[in-house]
Structure 1
Amino acid sequence: MSGYLKSYVAAAMEKDPAATSKIMVLFTYPGVKALMWHRPANWCYRHKMKFLARVISQHVRFWTGIEIHPGATIGKGVFIDHGAGVVIGETAEVGNNVTLYQGVTLGGTGKDAGKRHPTIEDNVVIAAGAKVLGPFTVGKGSKIGAGSVVLKPVPENCTVVGDGKRVDSLNQVELPDPVLEELRRINARLTQIENLSGINCSRYSIANEENTKSTETTD
């Protein structure tokens, strides 16, 4: 196998718990098949054989449900999980070790000429149904949430959710604690109930939990 194909199989083995053998990945994973056939399609496209390139890409689309324009640039170690409905446009650039889930679109807005599609840098994860539209860059290590619509650049190591207006920096040292976040929401709701009804409600001490967590971290 070529270096690119080996990297696609290795990425599937690493990122998909259901992958039990390289042979299974190579012959049954639609994402691996689409990426494998993109290599000759892209070669034909770059060597002015665009009709043949499109024939290859459209056959792959029919068999896998994944449409990668032969002009797109795809790096090593890319993993397309499930794959159904994935669309990657002509001028899109996908870096190394990128993960794309089903329904992802790397497309254009119809307003640009030339470079029309996004550049996805290394180690980016784009969740199911997300749409990244336009000629901008999604920085290294960033994550795009499921169903998000992104129309502007994303800095490195950030998380984007919803309509793309919320971009959260990802602190690799102080990651958010979902339990404490939920307790804060519960306590805020209890305060609202108290204010409306005049009843004192017992609430969980977040401060004590945070102090305990801090002590455990120090130890």
Structure 2
Amino acid sequence: MFSRIKEDINSVFDRDPAARTSLEVLLNYPGLHAVWFHRVSHRLWRADWKLLARVCSTFSRWLTGIEIHPGATIGRRFFIDHGMGVVIGGTAEIGNDVTLYQGVTLGGTSWKAGKRHPTLEDNVVIGAGAQVLGPITIGKGGKVGSNSVVVKDLPANATAVGIPGRIIPDKKHTDESQQREEVAKKYGFDAYAVSTDNPDPVAKAIGRLLDHMHLMDDRVSLLCKEVNTLGGDICPKNLPELRVGEFIDDEKAAAERRENKVASFDPEI
């Protein structure tokens, strides 16, 4: 028993940089307390002491703010960070080295008997406020983003975000986002935050503008080529680079001019 407690405490140091000493972890981490209470209630549940098991889990919920049904199966080095508001259903199965944050629900989607709750395989991480619902499986190493709602299986090492949860592509850059980065670089814009997966509406608008600029560049280049083929002489030079820094410098200079005007203004004139 003490070796398992020591293992649990060590797992906190691996996943929480705020942890300082073993005594601090032992006394101040409700996620650990909830797991330890669950081990007792789960043994009572399996021994068919169902009522006593539920009483134990209810006391744990009152003490820690974390509700774990005594029927849930939990592996080794399970860590609930912060913990308040976590709910784990009775048929949930959790593997080794799994991490949950506050507000997570491992819930069911029906009232039918049998397997109703999720299965989390080893090394899964579920972000704060996420809802993982139904008899689904989150594959080994899977991640669920904060406040996401996942109702379908998630493959191993995949990441799901959003409502409903959708899988983020494994590639760092899709063809479209790579194209946008190249166009942004050409015009001197910072391509940060114009990813196709970015939910920011301003970033999406900038991304569409870059798409439009790329299309217009292609059309103008093709037009120049055809005109030059017919004997014309247009577009002899490349477009000048447009850099955001130039606008920033101009704005600073304008602000200085306004300040100088205000400083030189004599109200007695």
Give the counterpart of 1:202 among 238, 242, 245: 242
| Alignment-mate amino acid for residue 61 of structure 1 | R
- 1:97 and 2:97 matched: yes
Match of 1:189 in 2: 209
Name which of structure 1's ranges 56-65 and 186-195 shifts more when overlaid on structure 2.
Answer: 186-195
Match of 1:147 in 2: 147
Alpha-carbon distance between aligned partners in 2 of 1:20 and 1:175, rounded to the nearest angstrom: 38
The question of whether the paired residues in 2 share the 8 Å contact of 1:127 and 1:145 is answered with yes
Amino acid at match of 2:150: V
Measure the CA separation in 2 of the matches of 1:79 and 1:39.
14
Is the 1:187–1:203 Cα contact (8 Å) retained in structure 2? no
- What's the secondary structure of 1:182's corresponding residue? coil
- Which one has a larger percent helix, Structure 1 or Structure 2? 2
Q: Structure 1 pair 74/193, CA: closer, same or farther in 2 (3 Å)?
A: same
Q: Which runs of 4+ in 1 moved over 6 A?
A: 175-179
Partners of 2:157 and 2:173 lie apart in 1 by 13
- Matching residue of 1:164: 164
3-state SS of the aligned residue for 1:132? Answer: strand
Q: In the alignment, is the contact (CA less than 8 A) between 1:194 and 1:201 conserved in 2? A: no
- Give the CA deviation at 1:187: 5.6
Shift of 1:194: 10
Supply the distance in 1 between the matched residues of 2:243 and 2:169 (Cα, whole angstroms): 30
Query: CA–CA distance in 1 between the matches of 2:241 and 2:210?
Result: 7
Unaligned runs of 5+ in 1: 205-219
Measured in 2, the distance between the counterparts of 1:175 and 1:40 equals 48
Three-state SS of the structure 1 residue aligned to 2:193 is: helix
The higher relative CO (CA closer than 8 Å, separation ≥ 6) is in: 1
Q: Please tell me the residue identity of whatever aligns with 1:202.
A: L
Of 75-84 and 2-11, more deviation after overlay is shown by: 2-11
Inter-partner Cα distance in structure 2 for 1:191 and 1:42:
57
Q: How much does 1:146 deviate? A: 0.5
Q: Is the 8 A contact 1:123 1:142 kept in 2?
A: yes
The residue aligned with 2:42 is 42
Secondary structure of the residue aligned to 2:168 is strand
Alignment of 1:66-85 (within 5 A): 66-85=66-85
| 1:129 partner amino acid | G
State the 1:120 CA deviation. Answer: 0.3
Structure 2: any 5+ residue segments left out of the alignment?
182-189, 196-202, 216-239, 245-269
TM-fit CA distance, 1:111:
4.6
Q: Output the CA distance in 1 between the equivalents of 2:100 and 2:60.
A: 17
1:61 paired with 2:61, answer yes
Alpha-carbon distance change, 153 to 23 in structure 1, aligned in 2, over 3 angstroms: same
1:8–1:35 Cα contact (<8 Å) kept: no
Letter of the aligned partner of 1:155 in structure 2? Answer: P
How much has 1:166 moved relative to structure 2? 1.6
User: 2:243, 2:111 → 1: CA distance?
Assistant: 53
Task: Report how many residues are paired.
Answer: 199
- Partner SS state of residue 106, structure 2: strand
TM-score between both structures, scaled by the size of structure 1: 0.81
Please tell me whether the aligned partners of residues 80 and 102 of structure 1 are also in contact (alpha carbons under 8 angstroms).
Answer: yes
The structure whose Rg is larger is: 2
Provide closer, same or farther for how the CA distance between residues 9 and 175 of structure 1 changes in structure 2, counting only shifts above 3 A: farther
Tell me, in whole angstroms, the C-alpha distance in 2 between the residues paired with 1:194 and 1:122. 44
Distance in 2, matches of 1:162 and 1:138, equals 15
Alpha-carbon distance, 1:175 to partner: 8.1
Contact 1:65 1:85 in 2 (8 A): yes
Q: Provide the C-alpha distance between the structure 2 equivalents of 1:180 and 1:158, rounded to a whole number of angstroms.
A: 25
